[in-house]
Chain A
């Protein structure tokens, strides 16, 4: 019998290549990770497309190959929201501790954790971490909380949970920190605050995917 359903397969002419970061792929020029669809994203032949306009990490990976991600890593992720980015990150690394405090989005995050075996949901305020008895030493601190006090929150969590010389990847949304200042000024100020604890490795603006956003890659000093 003929199968009339559209097939979710790689079209013959699509070129699959590896991104510099293991676990990340490029289907033609579209970013993807391996796995089943989890939030309605399109899939091709076992690859989940990852939209750089819906995820700052995807935007960063499109702009910059040198992101400190590796298969064996344990990640502490602050500001998980409903878990869009977390779901892809979980395809790349070994375990994600995902922190989110807003109950409405947290509900989706918990649903996601029930489906994906390497996501541990933590419903907590990252500014007052109460997950001390739970979280192990982590290789990477990822932060996307869009908060005026986010540098302070990153420092606090790194002090508690980040392994010596561990990496941090910190997303800055200029408008959530200071609406009146120029984005570049905001990035500089935030970097300055982070230097208290980290060596800053690089700063990347996320244009054209995100306006007035930047990613800071840093390392525990």
Chain B
């Protein structure tokens, strides 16, 4: 006797004959819901090869064509539900917010470039930042259209700030340790890069260290600095604020701590403030060593 649980109902087979069955008749919603709710065991290939035939025999559908069309409708319905659920997870919200920031940065970048080109005709300054200030503070000096333009950019900057605030809030509850260690925004970026907190928690530190030389970095855009070549964690103040000689080392230590923080956040969410103090201690030691190089210098023959 074989018990077969399929998407259209439960069937019992004996010597290839259907002896009992309980099927749902083309009720798409009910079928999709049942797939989400119940547990299904695997069944053997013999039955798997007969699914269409069984569904037709039990009059769930009247033809192979209808088998495919009903199944497809059920799976589209169920796929939509799964996607909605996936997007409702806190880390999915964080990823969306980070994407929002990236989009805004890209727009600000484009608009600022346009504005600065526009203004090079009349003004000496070329930094979009200064221009924006000049516009907002002395509007009368500029044409009304350019003012409007500058106004839009500064509204985008405000929106960016609002999104950043929302990310901070989400991050503190979803990933407290990562937030403490990396900062909310950098932490969020790491989650987004990894494709979720769970994926980040499963990642080895070596991957985290080189993850994503992020595409639309605000700094790069706004201040014209070089885009970072070494992955997102180079944005961390402890890395950036250190002498180039030891940045690589610090990035490695930081990545290792971030890997631990992500695991703690994913599996328990308990806060471990020691992580940060350990990190700061190690980095402090390295920085001291870097400042007093004589302790390290080889005595060359």
B-binding residues in A (CB < 8 A): 95, 102-103, 106-107, 109-110, 113-114, 117-123, 130, 132-137, 160-161, 163-164
Contacts and interface: CB of A to CB of B under 8 A. Distances in A.
A163 B45 CA distance: 8
Contacts, number: 71
A109 B76 CA distance: 10
26 contacts: A103-B87, A103-B92, A106-B79, A107-B83, A113-B72, A113-B79, A120-B71, A121-B75, A122-B75, A122-B79, A123-B82, A123-B83, A132-B41, A132-B43, A133-B35, A134-B7, A134-B35, A134-B71, A136-B48, A136-B49, A136-B52, A137-B48, A160-B42, A160-B45, A160-B48, A163-B45
Given A110-B76, A136-B51, 5 more contacts: A109-B79, A123-B83, A133-B6, A137-B45, A160-B42
A119 B48 CA distance: 19
Contacts of A163: 45, 49
B172 interface: no
Interface of B: 5-7, 35, 40-43, 45, 48-49, 51-52, 68-69, 71-72, 75-76, 78-80, 82-83, 86-87, 92, 195
A118 B75 contact: no
Contacts of B92: 103
Nearest to B89: A103
A103 B6 CA distance: 25
Contacts of A113: 72, 75-76, 79
> Which label, helix, strand, loop or mixed, suits the secondary structure of the B interface?
helix
A161 to B, nearest CB: 7
B79 A102 contact: no
A135 B45 CA distance: 11
A95 B83 CA distance: 23
A114 B75 CA distance: 10
Contact of B79 (A117, A123, A135, A137): A123
A134 B31 CA distance: 11
A102 B195 contact: yes
Contacts of A117: 68-69, 72
Given A102-B195, A107-B83, A123-B83, A134 B75 contact: yes
Closest 9 CB pairs of A and B: A103-B86, A137-B49, A123-B82, A133-B40, A123-B79, A137-B48, A121-B79, A132-B42, A133-B7
Contacts of A118: 68, 72
A122 B207 CA distance: 29
Nearest to A114: B76
A123 B82 CA distance: 7
A130 B299 CA distance: 64
B1 to A, nearest CB: 18
A103 B83 contact: yes
A120 B75 contact: yes
A103 B99 CA distance: 14
B83 A106 contact: yes
A141 to B, nearest CB: 13
Contacts of B83: 103, 106-107, 110, 123
B159 to A, nearest CB: 22
A133 B49 contact: no
A138 to B, nearest CB: 9
B10 to A, nearest CB: 10
Contacts of A122: 75, 79
Nearest to B48: A137
Contacts of A123: 78-79, 82-83, 86
Nearest to B99: A104
Interface centre among A103, A120, A135, A136 (most CB of B within 10 A): A103
A134 B38 CA distance: 13
Contacts of A119: 72
A95 B75 CA distance: 14
A13 B118 CA distance: 48
A179 B69 CA distance: 43
A123 B87 CA distance: 13
